[in-house]
């Protein structure tokens, strides 16, 4: 019995010592130890993440530009010299090096010089092509910014549309209580309650559709900024996007747009092809030097020669090459002009969309939203008083929701139009 009491006392003492060793964590301290939630994703951060990602779409043109720079250096160099080693006039009866006076061991060297300024023009052509790739990098950066903004704005719309629908759903639930109260007085029938519950189910379906749109928007955004960043909550406020310049100011900047500069670089490269074709009318030439060593005490031979092209029959070669090069240059110029026209059309469309959508937003904020809310509130009072029937009551409540969603969509579309204008203008006029 004594041993049992001793063991019990020892176990109790051990448990007390363990309890004393473990720190006691308050609920507040435990909450502070939880990992902090990621901050809301702003549009500015999304753009920064997209531009600093390792997206191959952004990196590819830079690699091509670097390759073309190397090719430009190589294209400007003379062809490799040619070395010739041979045996001349070797006797076949004795194979003796000293038997015949004309027997020689020959060594020759040849260096070709291309026609005119062909090498310089080839270097200029490669340099122009490399410049075009650098403008391609600038264009893709603008495209990534535009795409990221559009996807973020879509996500913003779906998230806040869900909030508006949830608020409307709560309002419909409150209407059901009103309908039930009126039904209890005998001034309505059960059909009104069923209609209210139907509208509640339709709002649930709208929430499912909105959830689908949100998921798709996050998937598109994750292509640019990664899955983890795209899964974050969205900033609750609209972004502070740069205000675009006037339409005429942007129009003057369009010739400097990367999409135009890419084609201008191609036109420059095509012009160098014309220069190269004209150089083909000039003779190319090569210098040949040789040394022939003879046996015994006979004198060695040395030789020097020049080889030249004779561009005499040019009708089906040089003339055709020059004509083809000029046509290619003209095609490049036409492509550049067509792209500039397309950009001007996009400018007119985006600017009109931006301005007219702004007018509609002003109208909704100043009149439509307020009248929709006033009408919905008045309908509730009228229904309680027996003046308005239930279909009118639910119609005004859903009309208020539709006006809120329309305003949200208009604001989203206006920011998208603003993003397209900034794509055309170039922020900081880069």
Going from N- to C-terminal start, the domains of the chain cover 37-78+114-280+317-429
Q: Residue 41 gets which letter from DSSP?
A: B
Q: What is the pLDDT of residue 189?
A: 64
Specify whether the CB–CB gap between 137 and 210 falls below 8 A: no
The count of residues in the chain is 430
Number of H-type helices and E-type strands within the chain: 12, 4
Q: Residue 255 gets which letter from DSSP?
A: G
Q: In whole angstroms, what is the distance from residue 34 CA to residue 27 CA?
A: 11
CB-CB neighbours of 126 under 10 Å: 22
pTM assigned to the model: 0.82
Q: Are strands 301-308 and 285-293 parallel, antiparallel or unpaired?
A: antiparallel
Q: Residue 365 gets which letter from DSSP?
A: I
- In tens, the pLDDT along 228-252 reads 999 999 998 999 888 999 999 999 9
Specify whether the CB–CB gap between 416 and 243 falls below 8 A: no
- In tens, the pLDDT along 156-202 reads 999 999 999 999 888 888 777 777 776 666 656 667 778 778 888 89
Q: Is 354 exposed, middle or buried (0-12, 13-18, 19+ CB in 10 A)?
A: buried
Specify whether the CB–CB gap between 38 and 225 falls below 8 A: no
Domain 37-78+114-280+317-429 has CATH 1.20.1600.10: yes
Q: For the residues of 160-227, what is the DSSP string, one character each?
A: HHHHHHHHHHHHHHHHHHHHHHHHHTTSS-HHHHHHHHHHHHHHHHHHHHHHHHHHHHHHHHHHHH-H
Q: Are strands 82-88 and 104-113 parallel, antiparallel or unpaired?
A: antiparallel
Q: Residue 282 gets which letter from DSSP?
A: S
Tokens of 115: 């026609």
Q: Half-sphere exposure of residue 274, counting CA atoms within 13 Å on the CB side?
A: 14
Which of the residues in the chain have pLDDT under 50? Answer: 1-32, 34-35, 429-430
Tokens of 42: 């702003």
Give the residue from 143, 418, 118 showing the smallest Cα distance to 262. Answer: 143
Specify whether the CB–CB gap between 288 and 306 falls below 8 A: yes
Q: In whole angstroms, what is the distance from residue 171 CA to residue 138 CA?
A: 50
Q: In whole angstroms, what is the distance from residue 283 CA to residue 114 CA?
A: 8
**Cα four-point dihedral sign 191, 197, 198, 199:** positive
Q: What angle do CA 233, 411, 420 make, to 5 degrees?
A: 90
Q: In whole angstroms, what is the distance from residue 22 CA to residue 329 CA?
A: 82
Q: In whole angstroms, what is the distance from residue 179 CA to residue 394 CA?
A: 11
Q: What is the pLDDT of residue 409?
A: 96
Q: What is the pLDDT of residue 80?
A: 94
Q: What is the pLDDT of residue 380?
A: 76
**Cα four-point dihedral sign 12, 17, 20, 22:** negative
Q: In whole angstroms, what is the distance from residue 108 CA to residue 290 CA?
A: 4
Specify whether the CB–CB gap between 106 and 84 falls below 8 A: yes
């Amino acid at each position: 019995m004594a041993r049992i009491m001793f063991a019990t006392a020892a176990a109790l003492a051990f448990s007390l010592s363990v309890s004393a060793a473990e720190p006691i964590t308050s609920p507040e301290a435990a909450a502070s130890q939880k990992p902090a939630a990621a901050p809301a994703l702003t549009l500015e951060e999304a753009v920064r993440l997209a531009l600093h990602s390792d997206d191959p779409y952004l990196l590819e043109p830079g690699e091509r530009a670097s390759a073309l720079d190397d090719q430009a250096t190589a294209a400007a160099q003379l062809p490799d010299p040619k070395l010739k080693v041979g045996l001349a006039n070797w006797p076949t009866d004795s194979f003796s090096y000293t038997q015949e006076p004309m027997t020689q061991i020959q060594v020759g060297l040849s260096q070709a010089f291309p026609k005119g300024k062909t090498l310089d023009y080839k270097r200029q052509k490669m340099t122009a092509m490399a410049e075009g790739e650098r403008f391609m990098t600038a264009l893709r950066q603008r495209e990534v910014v535009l795409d990221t903004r559009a996807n973020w704005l879509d996500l913003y719309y779906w998230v806040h549309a869900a909030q508006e629908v949830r608020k409307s759903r709560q309002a419909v639930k409150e209407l059901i209580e009103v309908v039930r109260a009126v039904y209890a007085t005998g001034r309505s029938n059960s059909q009104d309650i069923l209609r209210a519950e139907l509208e509640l189910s339709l709002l649930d379906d709208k929430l499912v559709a909105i959830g689908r749109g949100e998921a798709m928007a996050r998937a598109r955004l994750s292509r640019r900024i990664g899955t983890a960043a795209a899964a974050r909550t969205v900033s609750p406020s609209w972004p502070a996007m740069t205000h675009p310049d006037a339409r005429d100011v942007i129009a003057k900047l369009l010739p400097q747009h990367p999409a135009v500069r890419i084609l201008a670089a191609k036109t420059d490269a095509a012009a160098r092809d014309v220069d190269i074709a004209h150089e083909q009318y000039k003779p190319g030439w090569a210098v040949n030097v040789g040394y022939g060593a003879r046996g015994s005490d006979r004198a060695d031979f040395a030789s020097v020669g020049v080889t030249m092209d004779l561009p005499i029959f040019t009708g089906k070669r040089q003339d055709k090459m020059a004509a083809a090069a000029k046509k290619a240059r003209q095609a490049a110029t036409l492509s550049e002009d067509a792209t500039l026209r397309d950009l001007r059309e996009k400018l007119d469309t985006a600017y009109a969309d931006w301005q007219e959508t702004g007018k509609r937003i002003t109208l909704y904020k100043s009149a439509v939203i307020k009248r929709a809310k006033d009408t919905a509130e008045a309908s509730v009072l009228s229904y309680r008083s027996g003046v308005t029937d239930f279909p009118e009551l639910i119609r005004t409540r859903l009309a208020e929701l539709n006006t809120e969603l329309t305003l949200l969509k208009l604001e989203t579309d206006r920011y998208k139009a603003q993003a397209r204008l900034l794509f055309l203008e170039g922020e900081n006029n880069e």
